[in-house]
Amino acid sequence: MHKLTFSLFMLCCIATANAQKIQSPDKSFDLDFSLQSGGVPTYSLEYKGQAVIKPSHLGLQLVNDTDLNKDFTIEKIDTSSFDETWKPVWGEVSQIRNHYKEMAVTLLQNSTKHEMVIRFRLFNDGLGFRYEFPFTKKDFIYFTIKEENTQFAMAGDHKAFWLPGDFDTEEYSTVTSKLSEIRGKMKDAVTPNASQTTFSPTGVQTPLMMKSDKGLYINIHEAALIDYAAMNLNLDDQNMTFTTFLTPDAQGNKGHLQTPTQTPWRTVIVSDKAADILTSKLIYNLNEPTKYEDVSWIKPMKYVGVWWEMITGKSTWAYADTDNIHLGITDYSKLKPNGKHGATTTNVKKYIDFAAANGFDAVLVEGWNVGWEDWFGHEKDYVFDFITPYPDFDVKELHRYAASKGIKIIMHHETSGSVRNYERFMDTAYRFMVDNGYNAVKSGYVGNILPRGEHHYGQWIDNHYLHAVKKASEYKIMVDAHESVHMTGLSRTYPNLLAEEAARGTEYESFGGNNADHTTILPFTRLMGGPMDYTPGIFETRIEKINPENHSFVHTTLARQLALYVTMYSPFQMAADLPENYMRFPDAFQFIKDVAVDWDDTKVLEAEPGDYITYARKAKGTNNWFVGRTNDEISRVSDISLDFLDKGKKYIATIYQDGKDADYEKNPQSYTIKKMNVTDKTKLKIICARGGGYAISIIAQ
Amino acid sequence: MHKLTFSLFMLCCIATANAQKIQSPDKSFDLDFSLQSGGVPTYSLEYKGQAVIKPSHLGLQLVNDTDLNKDFTIEKIDTSSFDETWKPVWGEVSQIRNHYKEMAVTLLQNSTKHEMVIRFRLFNDGLGFRYEFPFTKKDFIYFTIKEENTQFAMAGDHKAFWLPGDFDTEEYSTVTSKLSEIRGKMKDAVTPNASQTTFSPTGVQTPLMMKSDKGLYINIHEAALIDYAAMNLNLDDQNMTFTTFLTPDAQGNKGHLQTPTQTPWRTVIVSDKAADILTSKLIYNLNEPTKYEDVSWIKPMKYVGVWWEMITGKSTWAYADTDNIHLGITDYSKLKPNGKHGATTTNVKKYIDFAAANGFDAVLVEGWNVGWEDWFGHEKDYVFDFITPYPDFDVKELHRYAASKGIKIIMHHETSGSVRNYERFMDTAYRFMVDNGYNAVKSGYVGNILPRGEHHYGQWIDNHYLHAVKKASEYKIMVDAHESVHMTGLSRTYPNLLAEEAARGTEYESFGGNNADHTTILPFTRLMGGPMDYTPGIFETRIEKINPENHSFVHTTLARQLALYVTMYSPFQMAADLPENYMRFPDAFQFIKDVAVDWDDTKVLEAEPGDYITYARKAKGTNNWFVGRTNDEISRVSDISLDFLDKGKKYIATIYQDGKDADYEKNPQSYTIKKMNVTDKTKLKIICARGGGYAISIIAQ
């Protein structure tokens, strides 16, 4: 990442006072910090004169040490200003401005003489702050967090887009309700998952998106989650005040820290325009620049894969039908193949041919390695070895064949939550990838974490996810992690972390379905922290056409599936449907073939969480634009201007839109495609069906 | 290991009855098995007509499943006989006879139709039995153990040599008391340790040595501890009945099993002669033969090391004096050396010179790698990386220098209990060893196990210790593990596991001292499972001569330190004192130079646990013998015959014995050395001082 511009002003070291204010560079935000009675750190935030965060307490409770939430005096306050523009390795835009006012409040606890710094950074799009614990004395090097007590006191009973708070899964449907309604809706919101641990009837996850009655959009999340437990929020629904609730370890503690250290940043992104939430780069800006010296090997990818056929139940990850596998002991040559195994050499070659014929970069193959017959639900320790293929999967031949067609194969490492086992094999597994031409891995953490008692989002396991990414970088391997902790902008620092799942993806369309408004919310929630491997592109929305026993259906129109390539940003983007389904709709498939996966610029043309989002993105290194619109369960008219195009320049637009009779439930495959000449003066009104949307490619002439 | 002789007789499949007996091959043991009222599996054991184990229940309690301890009927009973002689890769003898009667009782639980086999093997030196869980049906593949309920009902209030039962340490002093006195003595027995978790006022560890009023010696332990929690015993001191008490995981469960599987063997070794306990190979015989095809790289070693100088406080593992190290961030080039660092290139070269001049194989170096300033007591995750040397330790130069003198350097991997961190680096660390000429590693697990809640002896961590050994074998590396789980004969299967600590070693002589009778007990307890890296050979028994601030002293005479090379069997044997101390006593040091570390034969000439042990061992591939006698805190006369020597052959014996005024407290360095001609007719009476002993080399002419 290049640093384009940079300025830093140390304003001054302010004399200690019990209250202090700063303003954002554009003066739209006001942050107040004060010590309340008893030396309790307290902050509040206003946006254009409206309260966003009412006075809220700050601090932490410790185990076997004095809590760091009261009895403080202000030792000093340092303020400064920062303005830098940097270039991401990949992204929605080619450069990002990091511009903020900073206030670092150094607090001294009277009884213990422990020092704690609260560092606030106030941007034009919101606030980030964190706790820092300098190393000042020998009796405060190591400490254990009982709970972090950061409050976010809301100014009203906002509309919220929330998931049940959980230590093990983010794969819930988003519930849209008033804050005061969370308690009543919690029970239904907690749907079954392979691993789940809720903690409170008013506990919710972040990124949490809200909208006030006065039309203020507010997003709360965290940035730079490193060596710390992931944050949930627990709501006091009398006072509409959230308090942080961290993921515990097996003993119930929330974190083990060593000075000098700091927490992740707590972020509050605010605007009176929903679009500004989507374009905010505040979370990336609060992460560190990458330390990788060479990033030339990190490349966005568009891929197909041996995956949807297993998700729908047409084929299996497993090679045989048996319930009892002892890895390394079970002799696969003696097992009878079940005849439904997806990852066979022959089948993978079909996908390679399809990928090569249609301009994809790679083919994902799941179910290639031994163990899948008996991998799940038993908290098994030695479940996979990540290097032993099934008898019908020829690693060397497929490497040769794929390479001959210019296609990469994407590795799959399902861990089944057995994290130690994965780390045991990690070096060997990554080297196996290098030796066989793989440069990207999709990893998975389905089921309870081992050792028992640990959770998916605790400090110890968060360290694992990052370890896997850093270790992968040593082998020039890109990572797409599933069932891992929510993203917090770490891809800025570790850009080989291309994407994660960490939410309810397309797979749930085959497990009962996603809400029709699901993709109008995810960019405001899950995607705030980084790209999601949502795996769009399902053309055959009736799953029973693939597997007659599966009566789920995809809750979108075909046209909206195209739109998702633009609206669900990811540098690791799948065309998830079966090749034969794409071949049935070659005109619509053309958009997937054309669409970019890396961008120089991004505009949000329309946005309202839960209702619709329309993005326009400029493909990297070109003058071509791609537009995508995702629409909720109500038919709506999209009204956009193409004024983002170069003035006076001519373009040809191809519009892939819902047919007149399209409807995600009744007629999802109705679409029309039209070509037209457009310029920056062009305005378009496009009708979006229920659960519909559209996609447009705009090619410069 | 070569199989020398082999015979197997399937006696028959006995018709199901509710009671069954077998006898040991020599008929000294009688084993009874029966189902008691309610279908409760029950066994009892007699030796020469005396009750050893009174009727005792067998079975396990399960989590969320029907307990496997009652409601059984006998499905079938298979009996057989086995007789084989095999050769260990290294050992106290060149060949071992594995001769037993076997009875496998297949039980069917009426309510669940679960099948469980109890397999008994009755040897001429005692009993082994285990539970087996065949895979018979889909509803009983995975199960979780709440507790194993194996009883050992003693026939009297025996004298016992016991340690407090604990999930995290075996480094207690042995207490000698009646079983009925355990409760009263427990509080004083639980001395502080870096990690410890006791569980009961009558809980004790195994190997547990006992002696009945009638002079029967009884030893209880386990064999082949694989994928299972280590066993402690909990005493019902009204009935003198022990019940197994397994080490729990972080959630309090005791084991997670997948059929087909089995528990470790439970062992009861019995004789009316104490010497027979010491020569028993029952525990090895219950382990599987090695699966390693090539064992040529596994070699016993005699070594010196940069170790005692740190243990005594003369020098330090750490390079600098600081309390706060962040590995990979802390810049060691900016730290001020403390001037006391032991593992400097210069100092290690001194040890290499000393090793080469005196016929040692290797030099152990601890404290060579960064992190020691801040490694302990904080349950730190990233504490060592196992590959980064201190600035004053030149790996390449030391490799070159050592190799030029024919000396190996022994690697040291302290994990500080951070097991995942060790596994992360394991491949890299072992490869680093290979690249730099190391072929043996001393590993350590000081402090609480990470992740928090796991214990040193739980199933999950037991799996780690074995993983480390198996992985080491891929790199042809030998392992000496400290603070790991007790040995259970696994060195038969994995002979690169040369030794372990797993008890209170010589280091405690510098931490307050070991009891004077300590080494008269260890061969009856700790060493039953395999070799101990006891690190004998301390000539300067007053620690304050090395470090004026350390007032501990070694609780033996100098002569007994020589004896330990014979009495504390290990193929990985250290001369632990500082070179300069050996140089002060070159005549005594000659014994350490001469003594072997691998043997063709072993005789126990005298033995009484807690009082004395006298061994004679024949050095591998020679006609030379070495005799060692360890004596407790009472001065005694040892009365031995050399009738084990070849008849008529002439030998020269060199006797290193306590001086007339020797006393471990008052005059430990008083010794005399005399040479004499001896034959198989020679008888010797040698006075052993308080805490004394002697060593004899007998060289064939």
**Cα distance between residue A470 and residue A476, in whole Å:** 10
Confirm or reject contact between B142 and chain A (CB < 8 A): yes
- Name the residue facing A250 among B256, B451, B464 (closest C-beta): B451
Average pLDDT over residues A28-44: 97
**Record: contact B452-A323, CB cut-off 8 A:** no
User: Is residue A379 within 8 Å of A452, Cβ to Cβ?
Assistant: yes
Peptide bond into A571 cis (omega under 30): no
Task: Quote the pLDDT of residue A262.
Answer: 98
**Cα distance between residue B144 and residue B60, in whole Å:** 10
Task: Quote the pLDDT of residue A12.
Answer: 46
**Record: contact B451-A452, CB cut-off 8 A:** no
Task: Quote the pLDDT of residue B15.
Answer: 44
The pair of structure tokens assigned to A327 is 């890895």
Given the residues A222, A414, A501, A507, the one annotated as active site: A507
Residue whose tokens read 């066979």: A344
ipTM associated with this complex: 0.93
CA B92 to chain centre: 14
Average pLDDT over residues B62-82: 97
Task: Quote the pLDDT of residue A3.
Answer: 54
H or E element that contains B587: helix B586-594
Confirm or reject contact between B65 and chain A (CB < 8 A): no
Q: Report helix, strand or coil for B347.
A: helix
Confirm or reject contact between B385 and chain A (CB < 8 A): no
Instruction: Tell which residue, B629, B479, B664, B642, has the closest CA to residue B553.
Output: B664
Confirm or reject contact between A474 and chain B (CB < 8 A): no
Q: Which residues contact A253 (CB under 8 A, 6 or more apart)?
A: A63, A144, A145, A146, B452
Residue of A228, A254, A381 to mutate when probing chain B, most B C-beta within 10 A: A381
Q: Where are the beta strands (DSSP E) in B333-378?
A: 362-365
**Cα distance between residue B119 and residue B99, in whole Å:** 15
Alpha helices of A178-316 — where are they, by DSSP H?
182-189, 274-279, 282-285, 308-311
**Record: contact B324-A135, CB cut-off 8 A:** yes
Q: In Å, how far is B136's CA from the nearest CA of chain A?
A: 11
Average pLDDT over residues A573-585: 98
In this predicted structure, the answer to whether residue B482 has a pLDDT above a threshold of 60 is yes
Positions of CATH 2.70.98.10 in chain B: 20-285
Q: Which residues contact A367 (CB under 8 A, 6 or more apart)?
A: A306, A310, A316, A317, A318, A319, A341, A342, A343, A390, A412
Task: Give pLDDT tens digits for A634-648.
Answer: 999 999 999 999 999
**Cα distance between residue A635 and residue B608, in whole Å:** 92
Q: Which residues of A touch B463 (CB under 8 A)?
A: 381
Amino acid (1-letter code) at residue B491 = S
Task: Quote the pLDDT of residue A19.
Answer: 73
Q: What is the mean pLDDT of chain B?
A: 96
Search chain B and give the residue with CA nearest A142.
Answer: B378
Q: In Å, how far is B4's CA from the nearest CA of chain A?
A: 28
**Record: contact A426-B426, CB cut-off 8 A:** no
Residue of A136, A139, A254, A378 to mutate when probing chain B, most B C-beta within 10 A: A378
**Cα distance between residue B570 and residue B567, in whole Å:** 9
Peptide bond into A451 cis (omega under 30): yes
C-alpha pair distances (Å), B605 with each of B65, B644, B675: 52, 10, 21
The pair of structure tokens assigned to A700 is 């410069």
Q: Which residues of B touch A423 (CB under 8 A)?
A: 420, 423-424
Q: In Å, how far is B323's CA from the nearest CA of chain A?
A: 7
Positions of CATH 3.20.20.70 in chain A: 301-597
Task: Give pLDDT tens digits for A83-142.
Answer: 999 999 999 999 999 999 999 999 999 999 999 999 999 999 999 999 999 999 999 999
In this predicted structure, the answer to whether residue A338 has a pLDDT above a threshold of 80 is yes
pTM above 0.80, yes or no: yes
B188 CB burial (10 A radius; 0-12, 13-18, 19+):
exposed
Three-state helix/strand/coil letters over B619-684: ECCCCCEEEEEEECCCCEEEEEECCCCCCCCCEEEEEEEECCCCECCCECCCEEEEEEEECCCCEE
The pair of structure tokens assigned to B37 is 């009222």
**Record: contact B452-A428, CB cut-off 8 A:** no
Q: In Å, how far is B64's CA from the nearest CA of chain A?
A: 13
Confirm or reject contact between A137 and chain B (CB < 8 A): no
**Record: contact A323-B141, CB cut-off 8 A:** yes
Q: In Å, how far is B140's CA from the nearest CA of chain A?
A: 10
User: Is residue A315 within 8 Å of A309, Cβ to Cβ?
Assistant: yes
Task: Give pLDDT tens digits for A356-376.
Answer: 999 999 999 999 999 999 999
User: Is residue A258 within 8 Å of A522, Cβ to Cβ?
Assistant: no
User: Is residue A625 within 8 Å of A598, Cβ to Cβ?
Assistant: no
Confirm or reject contact between A467 and chain B (CB < 8 A): yes
Q: In Å, how far is B78's CA from the nearest CA of chain A?
A: 26
B38 CB burial (10 A radius; 0-12, 13-18, 19+):
exposed
Superfamily of structural domain B301-597: Aldolase class I (3.20.20.70)
Strands A478-482 and B29-36: unpaired
Angle at A675 between CA A672 and CA A678, to 5 degrees: 130
Search chain B and give the residue with CA nearest A460.
Answer: B451
**Record: contact A250-B250, CB cut-off 8 A:** yes
Task: Give pLDDT tens digits for A619-637.
Answer: 999 999 999 999 999 999 9
Count other C-beta atoms under 10 Å from residue A60's C-beta: 24
C-alpha pair distances (Å), A338 with each of A317, A320, A321, A615: 11, 5, 6, 45
Average pLDDT over residues A517-538: 98
Search chain B and give the residue with CA nearest A468.
Answer: B424
Q: Where are the beta strands (DSSP E) in A149-300?
A: 151-154, 159-162, 175-178, 203-205, 208-211, 217-223, 231-236, 241-246, 255-258, 261-262, 265-271
Q: Which residues of B touch A463 (CB under 8 A)?
A: 381
Query: Which residues of B belong to the active site?
Result: 507
- Band of residue B19 on the pLDDT scale cut at 50, 70, 90: confident
Confirm or reject contact between A321 and chain B (CB < 8 A): no
Confirm or reject contact between B135 and chain A (CB < 8 A): yes
The pair of structure tokens assigned to A621 is 């290194």
In this predicted structure, the answer to whether residue B173 has a pLDDT above a threshold of 90 is yes
Q: Where are the beta strands (DSSP E) in A396-487?
A: 408-414, 440-444, 478-482
In this predicted structure, the answer to whether residue B5 has a pLDDT above a threshold of 90 is no
Q: How many CB pairs under 8 A join A and B?
A: 90
Residue whose tokens read 């006076």: A648
- Band of residue B17 on the pLDDT scale cut at 50, 70, 90: low
The share of chain A scoring above pLDDT 90, in percent, equals 97
- Band of residue B12 on the pLDDT scale cut at 50, 70, 90: very low
Sign of CA dihedral A676, A680, A685, A689: positive
Q: In Å, how far is A451's CA from the nearest CA of chain B?
A: 8
Q: Which residues of B touch A428 (CB under 8 A)?
A: 427
Task: Quote the pLDDT of residue B7.
Answer: 61
CATH 3.30.70.20 corresponds to the domain A20-285: no
Q: Which residues of B touch A380 (CB under 8 A)?
A: 142, 258
Task: Quote the pLDDT of residue A15.
Answer: 44
Task: Quote the pLDDT of residue B13.
Answer: 47
- Band of residue A155 on the pLDDT scale cut at 50, 70, 90: very high
Confirm or reject contact between B380 and chain A (CB < 8 A): yes
Q: In what order do the strands lie in the sheet with A671-678?
A: A599-608, A612-619, A625-631, A693-700, A651-658, A671-678
Confirm or reject contact between B455 and chain A (CB < 8 A): no
- Name the residue facing A324 among B135, B250, B253 (closest C-beta): B135
**Cα distance between residue A411 and residue B293, in whole Å:** 33
Q: In what order do the strands lie in the sheet with A362-365?
A: A497-500, A478-482, A440-444, A408-414, A362-365, A301-306, A572-574
**Record: contact B249-A467, CB cut-off 8 A:** no
Confirm or reject contact between A138 and chain B (CB < 8 A): yes
Q: Which residues of A touch B323 (CB under 8 A)?
A: 138, 141
**Record: contact A256-B379, CB cut-off 8 A:** yes
Q: In Å, how far is B218's CA from the nearest CA of chain A?
A: 37
Confirm or reject contact between B427 and chain A (CB < 8 A): yes
Confirm or reject contact between A259 and chain B (CB < 8 A): yes
Confirm or reject contact between A465 and chain B (CB < 8 A): no
The share of chain B scoring above pLDDT 90, in percent, equals 97
- Band of residue A7 on the pLDDT scale cut at 50, 70, 90: low
Q: Which residues of A touch B419 (CB under 8 A)?
A: 420
Task: Give pLDDT tens digits for A214-224.
Answer: 999 999 999 99
**Record: contact A251-B250, CB cut-off 8 A:** yes
**Record: contact A380-B142, CB cut-off 8 A:** yes
